Amino acid sequence: MSSTVYDFSATSIEGQPIEMSTYRDKVLLIVNTASQCGYTPQYKGLQELQDKYASKEFAVLGFPCNQFGQQEPGSAQDIQSFCETRYGVSFPLFQKVDVNGASAHPLFKYLEKAAPGILGTEAIEWNFTKFLVDGSGKVVKRYGSNTDPKDIAKDIEALLG
C-alpha cells in the first residue's frame, strides 16, 4: 500500500498529468467537489484558505465528482469556467473522478483508508469531504461535507507552524 499522497498522480482539469509529488512539502486540503450541490458555496471558503495560506506552502486541490446525486454533470471546461467565474477559484482543479467503489481514483482509495470517516467507514458520504495532508504527504484528518472551510484554518495553521 502507498505510504503518502506523493505516490499518486492525477490529471489536471486542463488534461495534463500531475504527479502529487509536485506538492511535496506543502500542506494540502484535498476535496471532492461538485458544482450543483448544496455545499457548492464552500468553493468561496476554500479559495479564501488558498489565498490566505498559499504563500506559506499550502494548497487546496479540488477533484470534481459526479457520484453523489449527479451534481457535477458538466465537462471539464464547464466545471473550470463555473469555478473561476462564480467563485474566483484559482487553486488546482483536476479531471472528474469517482471517489467510491471499484472505479474510485487510487488517490481517494488511499485517502479513505488513511482517514476513515464516522464509525470507521471508509466510503466518502457526499461532496465536499475534505482531507488535510501534512507537508510530508501523510493524511492528518478527514472533515465531513458540513465542515465549513474556515473551521479548518486552525488545523492548517498548526501544520504550517
CATH number at residue 11: 3.40.30.10
131 with 29: CB under 8 angstroms?
A: yes
Take residue 32 and report the three cell numbers written for it: 471532492
Per-residue pLDDT tens digits for 118-134: 767 788 999 999 999 99
pLDDT at 113 over 80: yes
Counted domains in the chain: 1
Q: pLDDT above 90 covers what percent of the chain?
A: 91
Q: Which range of residues forms the domain containing residue 21?
A: 5-160
- Residues with active-site annotation: 37
Tell me the pLDDT band of 116, cut-offs 50, 70 and 90.
confident
- What proportion of the chain, given as a percentage, has pLDDT over 70? 98
**pLDDT tens column, 29-70:** 999 999 999 999 999 999 999 999 999 999 999 999 999 999
144: pLDDT confidence band, cut at 50, 70 and 90?
very high
Cβ-based neighbour number of residue 91 at 10 Å: 19
Q: Is the pTM of this model over 0.75?
A: yes
Q: Degrees (nearest 5) of the Cα angle 20, 24, 28?
A: 75
